[in-house]
Structure 1
Amino acid sequence: MGEKIVAGGFDLSDRQRYRRKLQQCLAGLGRLLAEKRFDRPRNLMGLEIELNLADSDGTPRMMNAEVLSRISSPDFQTELAMFNLEVNIVPHRLDRHVFDQLAEELRTGLGYADRRAADVGSGLVMIGILPTLRQQDLVSANLSDVDRYTLLNDQIVAARGEEFTLDIEGVERLTCTSASIAPEAACTSVQLHLQVTPARFADVWNAAQAVAAVQVAVGANSPFLFGRELWRESRPPLFQQATDTRPPELQAQGVRPRTWFGERWVNSAYDLFEENVRYFPALLPICDDEDPLRVLDDGGVPRLQELALHNGTVYRWNRPVYAVVDGVPHLRVENRVLPAGPTVADVVANAAFYYGLVRALAEEARPVWSRLPFAAARENFEAACRHGIEAELLWPRPGRGGITRVPVVKLVRDELLPLAAAGLDAWNIEPADRDLYLGMIEERCRRRTNGASWQAETFHHALEAGLERDAALAATTRRYCDLMREGQPVHTWPVGFPGSDA
């Protein structure tokens, strides 16, 4: 969740001062863009994975501080709740064997961390939502002991002014309330970063928005929450509702939620930062001493701290990122739609599919977003979250006008996988690695299997074997963890349980 912040109160003048600083930061960003001060293209990508801690029974373990002390690596950090961790992979250049390198680094790092966690009776689980989570696990007392999370929770709760309502209707319906943002911690994701030049930013972001639904459909891995079977990818509705600062009256007025797909295609990175400032009140109005315009006048590069902090509290599924590295500013698109897991191979396959597809779509002469209404992209995203790999999406007809509704598995196999392959070729990815990882996506589509479908089928298998609901969810989680550690991609996983384990 970003930079370290010291908790403290805010007085009435803090938000006004912060608003003024945000406007100065926006003006500074505009000048940096106009003066073409940004880093040259370096084809850099980055990866973050949020993780759960669970015991041998598959139930959450509230001990991230102890596990992190045993891992003792700056690559691993706290996340929102005490059963969460995050691993960050250093940026890599997108070329040749980068995906095999990522896979090896992840297997090594996660394997080491899992062994250290096992020393204290815990283990890492790479999954979108841990099926064994209970509502009583997601309370403010189980938030990580970090000032940023405490302060963010306090500010969102104050802005909301009442309890948060969770109401998600899928295969079953879940309704409950929470006095804190802790249910957000149930959502563990993979975040894919791509550094881009300002000239390419809009095309890459628009392409990422257009394919967000496809990513979710083939990668869904979050069908359960608090013992209920909901959407195939239940993270997006949960995240939106668990961070929703709007009481029902503001929702009725059409005020935008802080967890947001967006509402239009963009022409510049500036569009997104400007929308964030215009539409969303500050949650953490903490001001830096920097005068960004004076820094620019003096020939320097401003950090734009207020803008970066505010940007981190608007939860777009494709987020713009401004950062300064070695004194040079750069822009990234941060793709946040994917759940964690099921295996390292699946995570890397999802990444290869995304980076190849975005590269190809961003370079099309007649881009998909010029032919697909933004409202259709937003509708696709919800359909993919609800139905996963069985979703049908709206998509432009190849070579013809208009749009049509097509099963996502057909769209991926007939049109998008060849585009992704061409995109990976443009990144100079080794053909054997391209075919290996895109082949995993193709097999998921051919077998109509992903993490969410496997979890749901295995859960129902356990119910049919006579287990009660909670026992079936626990058995499904234990079997998931066993197969996750074996490391074979999810489309190869057998449904059910070996012997009499169920």
Structure 2
Amino acid sequence: MGNQQVSRLNSKKENQNFIIALLKDLHSLKYMLENDWFEKDPIRIGAEQEMVLVDSYYKPNPIAPQILKRLKKYKWLTSELSKFNLEINLSPQVFKGAALQKVEKEVQDYLDIVQKELDKEDTHIILTGILPTLRKYDLDMKNVFPKRRYRSLLSAINAQRDANHGYDLRLRGIDELVVRHDSPLLEACNTSFQVHLQVRPEEYRTYYNIAQLLTGPILAVSANSPLLFGRRLWHETRIALFQQSIDTRTVREHMRELSPRVILGNRWMNKGVVELFQEDIARFRVLIGAKNIEDSIEKIQNGEVPKLSALQIHNGTVYRWNRPCYGISENGKPHLRVENRVLPAGPTVADEMANTAFWLGAMVGMKDQYGDVRDKIEFVDVRDNFAKAARYGIDNTFNWFGDQKISSTDLLKEILIPLAREGLEKRKIDSKDTDRYLDIISSRVEKHMTGARWQLKSYTQLKSGTEKELAQTILTSAIRQNQATNQPVHTWSLPKLNDFKLNNMIAYTVSEAMITDVFTVRQEDVIEMVAEMMIWKHIKQVPVENAKGRIVGMVSYKQIIEAFLRQKHEGEGTITVRQIMEKKPIIIGEETPIRKAIELMITNRSEALIVANEDKELLGILSDLEIMGMINRYLQGTEDEA
């Protein structure tokens, strides 16, 4: 969907014209395949590096438009859906010799150029599947990158479903997340490292099916996205998040099998690449299009290679984890590629390249040793492998050939890593590169340490000693520091609380200090119950909610004591929360600066502030204890510097 002129189709006529162009493109593709127009040699590989930009407090920094403008001479740098993401398009490399080394060098060189510009804004690149410090309000529509195609796409997704009810996200891992958002911008949480393998047309079915087979195992060993909004979820939360964020299906009373736009697939490919495009056109309505698209059949008749723009635009709105791609090489010949979209960004460039080498090598090795895999395993088992890998990562058992059940570690060590080595050797990849990259994969397996497991272990350890928001910040800081070394994740030590110095405390927001595991009461509750709760949980203030979950007050231990005294001295009967609560408590948003919160507490002589959204739905509570904890950490940092 690289065409920047795409937009929503605003009339039936525009939609019909685009669909006609789409069908013409499909016929043109078939003609070129049947008449041997496609490039067969050399075989090339390519990649795309997505990244997230964070400020000096490790929160998303929406400055991508300014950075792109200042670096506009670099055509390899491009935008992504949000203002805090960027993407690097890497040069195609002939798949032999030093190809992988060249890709790694180019990734690192390009990242260095971007980082040098970001340094002027005290901003950093983070390579990870989902940024641990990402907050729900970062996904506001104000942070959509200002290009028409992004607005058009989000608008079209909304139009395909009842967007008035929002986008519900439900995920369960170690923790549970149930959240509603008002736009499909949830997709912007995800950053990946996408790898392309050029494939000869006559081998496309075989390679594509192998890609499907390998999706589960490659995801298991590369998982790097276990956290979202402070919850420990799937090892690759990107998988579920991406599907749910742009799911255009609606809940219906009848059980019709509608396919999501984000899919692995429903069956093996049986014919060829045209089969996939036909299925996507039949299943998924056009979301966006473009005017004045070339007539591909007319191009064919003139002996010219068409761009197939309509087909590429539609293909860009169907999110297969292994996407079929059409392109035109520099020599003017058309070619086909398989795009692996399942790999997360990070944890380091070395890790990304190890994932890339493993996948590419396994693709070639599997093809040489097994060929057609359709009769060796049921596709339903491949889908099951994918789902389990997304949830459990390397802590998993896979379905395999001959109805075997095999642990992920055994499958990787005994079958797939050796196959990948054979594949890279067949492509005559430099042996030192093969050894280096596959040794990273092997060590990950031996140490049972993927990016996802490192994040989960680190976050759990940090969270036991501090509030979760600060744990997320320390974790992200550690990712950045380790990323700078380019040492693979299996060598990283777990971060400690005192590794992080809280600089310029007053620049932080309430979200960094508030607690979110909050106990609440209702107006009709008796004060005896509230008093017991305060004793059990060692708390001094409790928010009061109504039946709809809206904040209606706050009750403190002082009010409870005063009520008990009235009962004792004045003989007052049963007293409820409604009678004693503060009916107009101070409510602040999670984006409120810490300085402002402290001023409010001092001015109002308050020991706690309620944190809520615009609808008065509780998000957390900020008490003097959290403020004192933050001040203590800041003072420790200044003492260390002294």
- TM-score, normalized by length of structure 1? 0.96
Alignment partners' CA distance in 2, 1:461 and 1:290: 57
Conserved? CA contact 2:8–2:156, under 8 Å: no
State whether structure 2 residue 320 is matched by structure 1 residue 319.
no
Conserved? CA contact 1:288–1:306, under 8 Å: no
CA deviation digits over 1:310-338, x for unaligned, max 9?
01100000000112234321111111000
State whether structure 2 residue 392 is matched by structure 1 residue 379.
no
Displacement after TM superposition at 1:137 (Å): 0.6
Conserved? CA contact 1:413–1:442, under 8 Å: yes
Alignment partners' CA distance in 1, 2:208 and 2:200: 12
CA deviation digits over 1:232-282, x for unaligned, max 9?
000010000001111112894211110011111113111111111111110
Change over 3 Å in CA distance of 1:366–1:103 after alignment to 2: closer
Alignment partners' CA distance in 1, 2:210 and 2:379: 11
Alignment partners' CA distance in 1, 2:253 and 2:316: 22
Q: Which residue of 1 aligns with 2:158?
A: 157
Structure ranking higher on relative contact order (CA contacts 8 Å, 6+ apart): 1
Displacement after TM superposition at 1:373 (Å): 0.7
Q: Which residue of 2 aligns with 1:358?
A: 363
CA deviation digits over 1:427-480, x for unaligned, max 9?
10111211111000000000000111101111111122x210111111111111
Conserved? CA contact 1:131–1:224, under 8 Å: yes
Conserved? CA contact 1:287–1:306, under 8 Å: no
CA deviation digits over 1:146-200, x for unaligned, max 9?
1110100110111112222111111211111222111100000111011111111
Of 2-11 and 297-306, deviating more is 2-11
Alignment partners' CA distance in 2, 1:155 and 1:250: 24
State whether structure 2 residue 199 is matched by structure 1 residue 196.
yes
Change over 3 Å in CA distance of 1:6–1:307 after alignment to 2: closer
Letter aligned with residue 20 of structure 1: I
Displacement after TM superposition at 1:294 (Å): 2.5
Alignment partners' CA distance in 2, 1:409 and 1:338: 18
SS of 1:320's equivalent in the other structure is strand
SS of 2:342's equivalent in the other structure is strand
Of 107-116 and 47-56, deviating more is 107-116
Alignment partners' CA distance in 2, 1:451 and 1:47: 20
Q: Which residue of 2 aligns with 1:330?
A: 335
Q: Which has the larger radius of gyration?
A: 2
SS of 1:137's equivalent in the other structure is helix
Which of the numbers 254, 271, 296 marks the counterpart of 1:292? 296
Of 64-73 and 143-152, deviating more is 64-73
State whether structure 2 residue 272 is matched by structure 1 residue 271.
no
- TM-score, normalized by length of structure 2? 0.75
Conserved? CA contact 1:139–1:178, under 8 Å: no
Q: Which residue of 2 aligns with 1:306?
A: 310
Q: Which runs of 4+ in 1 moved over 6 A?
A: none
Letter aligned with residue 108 of structure 2: R
Q: Which residue of 2 aligns with 1:418?
A: 418
Q: Which residue of 2 aligns with 1:399?
A: none
Displacement after TM superposition at 1:499 (Å): 5.0
Change over 3 Å in CA distance of 1:31–1:158 after alignment to 2: same
State whether structure 2 residue 173 is matched by structure 1 residue 170.
yes
Alignment partners' CA distance in 2, 1:418 and 1:16: 51
Q: Which residue of 1 aligns with 2:613?
A: none
Displacement after TM superposition at 1:300 (Å): 2.0
Change over 3 Å in CA distance of 1:440–1:61 after alignment to 2: same
Displacement after TM superposition at 1:229 (Å): 1.0
Which runs of 5 or more residues in structure 1 are unaligned? 397-401
Change over 3 Å in CA distance of 1:500–1:289 after alignment to 2: closer
Alignment partners' CA distance in 2, 1:31 and 1:287: 24
State whether structure 2 residue 491 is matched by structure 1 residue 487.
no
Q: Which residue of 2 aligns with 1:280?
A: 284
Q: Which residue of 1 aligns with 2:83?
A: 82
Letter aligned with residue 125 of structure 2: L
Conserved? CA contact 1:140–1:181, under 8 Å: no
SS of 1:488's equivalent in the other structure is coil
Which of the numbers 238, 241, 244 marks the counterpart of 1:241? 244
Letter aligned with residue 271 of structure 1: E
Change over 3 Å in CA distance of 1:301–1:250 after alignment to 2: farther
Identity of aligned residues (%): 35
Which runs of 5 or more residues in structure 2 are unaligned? 502-642
Alignment partners' CA distance in 2, 1:450 and 1:235: 15
CA RMSD of aligned residues (A): 1.6
Alignment partners' CA distance in 1, 2:374 and 2:226: 29
Alignment partners' CA distance in 2, 1:497 and 1:300: 61
